[in-house]
């Protein structure tokens, strides 16, 4: 029996997943958790074979959670579940140790297939995910940029529509500093204006 746990904050979705998993005799559902903290606690008392993990959780990002789980329990396989097909999101999850990536618009049996595939040591990507990755060559694929606390702070204020000067005033730093951060954000996101930074940040749920 393959032991599976589900990490997902939408109860209706959990309901659907339970249903799907129940339909397969070789899979045993060992509990579900609505956020990152509770699953980390639960793992201390024993690990499943596979975690089905939503990428958007209420407390911490799926990318971070995935990395932490794999660091502590390297044998646990993780399948990412997501509504995003943005390449950097997919890429970041895989880099953080996920063995599979299945979009939420996938059919139920793709989940089952994914579980068996990764138990066989394969990496499983659902068809839409493959489609999304196909166009870019893996080498050039950008991950979600890692931004610092301060940068995030400034990003959020920019998102609120504040100008450089207003941000400087609010954080008690000079406008030059704000501009530096702005510049670094553009650099990290690989774009050349703040609008695009905000758009990407919004897509990656960084705001």
Partner DNA sequence: AAAAAAATCCCGGAAAACAGGGGTTTTCCC
Partner DNA sequence: GGGAAAACCCCTGTTTTCCGGGATTTTTTT
Name the residues that contact a second copy, by CB under 8 A.
Answer: 9-20, 58, 83, 104-108, 111, 158-161, 163, 191-196, 198-199, 202-203, 207
109 lies in the site for DNA, by CB under 7 A: no
- State the minimum distance, in angstroms, from the CB of residue 50 to DNA: 28
93 close to 66: Cβ distance less than 8 angstroms: yes
| Residue 10 contact partner, candidates a second copy, DNA, none, CB within 5 to 8 A by sort of partner | a second copy
The dihedral over CA atoms of 36, 40, 45, 50, expressed in degrees to the nearest 10, equals: 70
Which of 151, 200, 201, 204 forms a contact with DNA (CB under 7 A)? 151
Which of 37, 159, 180, 203 forms a contact with DNA (CB under 7 A)? 180
186 lies in the site for DNA, by CB under 7 A: yes
202 lies in the site for DNA, by CB under 7 A: no
Strand order across the 50-54 sheet: 27-33, 2-7, 50-54, 77-82, 100-103, 124-125
DSSP letters spanning 28-83 = EEEEEESSHHHHHHHHHT---SEEEEESB-SSSBHHHHHHHHHHH-TT-EEEEEES
Residues near DNA (CB under 7 A):
146-151, 163-165, 171, 173-174, 176-177, 179-184, 186, 192-195
């Amino acid at each position: 029996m393959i032991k599976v746990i589900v990490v997902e904050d939408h109860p209706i979705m959990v309901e659907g997943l339970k249903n799907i998993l129940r339909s397969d005799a070789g899979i045993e559902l060992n509990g579900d958790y609505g956020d990152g903290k509770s699953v980390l606690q639960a793992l201390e008392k024993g690990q499943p074979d596979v975690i089905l993990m939503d990428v958007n959780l209420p407390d911490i990002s799926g990318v971070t959670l995935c990395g932490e789980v794999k660091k502590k329990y390297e044998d646990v396989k993780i399948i990412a579940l997501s509504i995003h097909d943005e390449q950097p999101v997919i890429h970041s999850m895989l880099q953080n140790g996920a063995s599979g990536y299945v979009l939420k618009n996938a059919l139920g049996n793709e989940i089952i297939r994914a579980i068996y595939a990764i138990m066989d040591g394969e990496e499983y990507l659902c068809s839409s995910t493959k489609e999304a990755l196909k166009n870019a060559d893996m080498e050039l694929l950008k991950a979600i940029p890692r931004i610092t606390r301060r940068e995030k702070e400034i990003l959020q204020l920019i998102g609120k529509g504040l100008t450089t000067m207003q941000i400087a005033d609010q954080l008690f730093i000079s406008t030059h500093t704000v501009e530096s951060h702005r510049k670094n954000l553009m650099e990290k996101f690989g774009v050349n204006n703040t609008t695009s930074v905000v758009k990407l940040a919004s897509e990656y749920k960084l705001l």
